Structure 1
């Protein structure tokens, strides 16, 4: 009997959540189309606008999921309450916790699908939409890579003026320094290409070794730099009074090709050139860790990472609030009012997430806590309402 009730409650709630998601995404799709109508021009027609809006659907689905879960739970549970089915269940000995579990089961599946969506579909779909729009409007192939990239390696700083769509580097500047942060060498290369291997089979290749670590073995990550101009700085002995012999001397070399070994991989350069919104969860994690290791500001990337990872807990909080709305002090109000209240709660939670996230960046809060605070607020509000039952 209980298994039949569990399937029935799960089916009613899952249908309500699915319908709510479709309605919200429908409105969002229409809004996206209206917003894109202003950009229609030669080469970018109305059909392209529709395709652009469709490609934005996966990202919008993930963003609106907590609100859709709340409104769907309110609708489904409200329908059960209107037909006195919840009253009969509780009168027959089924606890509120058991009903909560009946509701949670389909939501867990929805949350799993949402995580798969934001990891494998939404980032590439959003990237394709923006790249396709730029290409159609310009009439030429467009690469979304940034025009310039700064990166840190081991005792070196790299500036790449342009990353081509093929992954090749153009106009590379490399600054090398010692442990005291004094500049020891400066290189300029017109091009750079990644090689998969250490090049031991190519005896003619000239290697750029890290002079600060002669014992380091050749690693597998290497780039071939072409048309390289190298300037080395040789510093004289430290003396109380500078003499011509104590001034740094410059030694210049020209290389047709030079092998540059570094920890910076093509995948890492891809992450540096991509907008944060295009990154999947795994890419966000890799890039945030890279920034942390290099001592760079990684808070914005951790903030977005935790915002996506903790999204399922926001959905669970919304289910909890929805249960309180139906079984708590608001059980006597109409279902229309409950849905309206759910929309307000969902909107308020999203605004609170944005506010705490930006405040965290300004006041140097932990990104994890900045994301966690609004989620805790959802559960606290639910508990306070439950106490008034």
Structure 2
């Protein structure tokens, strides 16, 4: 990906450039780390998609009225993808965007994705489109896997306590198919895909289910479920006293409990973030610092910070970079092993944070992307080069929520 050294502003809306180049990427994953999701030998290909020589990386955003835009970071062109419900929250797996309000979830297919084949990757582009809606009561929590063409996507509606699993393969062909919709207890909850199974966290426990909703295995206790993420090792569910790690062994789901360190008094983790697929994830320890959860080692580490942070994400690269956002809108680059400060940006999103507006902080292997709706801008930052602003974009439609897609 080209990365100009000086800030550049986004051109007016233009057409997306569609390319069709075939190829594989060089190995990028350590041996022994296996995808959580089923991996049929399709390399992530679907009918009508073009395989590319490099990832078609973009920033797909939704504004406060539900208008969806896609910025192609290679061509610096923007396309209007249509409109969805005005979102109160948004979740993305790197291909799909799930925009939620009090009565349901709208699903957007950005049309760009990467297939992780363990020792190399395949990159695709297909038609971007609005797929439709899933109705439900209350602002849904959404949980995705690391595959955009296999497995499932989980939605939990807190108002009704309905737990829904969508067929992700069907999403990849333009259909919304519910493989189950189970009635549980209203309130906080999660539906978390794990290989060809799904875990449902509600009512103080986590139950395991086949894709048709049939219960399998034994339930595990989980008070106040909050926060989930899928790493290369397995699927994580945050509980009051621990994290649950769900893996698949011998074609059966396995649940392991990772308790917080003995004597820990820092606030629990309630949201996890990292560079997609990596084994280590980060979470805010409110008012104290950052929790690091290593799913490969099954261990927590608390990193105190010199000032409170409001959002974090683990790059989990060879330099153990950790990105954090301060209350005054600066992006910090921290040492993920010690918490030491390496670099800091200027206060870029201070107005959004002061007004309680959503702020998106995203990390990939080379860059970070930061957006603020009050500022009406998106920034690409080089975290390995002193948090330098590599590019600056001023989109025609002010983004409320932003996702990096195609990576």
Larger Cα-atom Rg: 1
One fold, TM greater than 0.5? no
TM-score category of the 2 structures, normalised to the smaller one: under 0.3
User: Whose helix proportion is higher, 1 or 2?
Assistant: 1
User: Whose strand proportion is higher, 1 or 2?
Assistant: 2
Normalising to structure 2: TM-score of the pair? 0.23
